[in-house]
Amino acid sequence: MTSKIIKITTTQNKQVVDITEQIEKELGSGEGVVNLFIKHTTCALTTADLDPGTDLDMLDAFEEIMPNLNYRHPHDPAHVTDHILSSMIGTHLGLPYKNGKFILGTWQRIVLIELSGPRERKLVISV
């Protein structure tokens, strides 16, 4: 198994970033399963349909599902919801690929969900 770390720079506080093609550039010509892991606790990875506006719909939905509680996070209570959403959405994916392309559904894209940006994020790719 080989691993590589790539950097993804986000530009907004809350953002959905399509990273499909950026990762595919790192794949070899063989086939197998790629494991993706984001090394941060305030962003997440998932697959999504990115029709126009869907990214904003996702961000609005994430904000709505988080309750307004008296959070006790000692570092910064204001962004504890970002940590919770990262855990709920997930920080890793396992995806099949063949000949340098992911085997995805018709509308599926691989996305990084930025919850506390803008920042430079590190993504581990293991084949």
Around 64, how many Cα atoms within 13 Å sit in the side-chain half-sphere?
A: 6
- pTM of the complete model: 0.92
The stretch 72-81 carries a mean pLDDT of: 79
Binned at pLDDT 50, 70 and 90, residue 1 comes out as low
Q: Provide the mean pLDDT of the chain.
A: 93
Q: Which CATH superfamily is domain 3-126 in?
A: YjbQ-like (2.60.120.460)
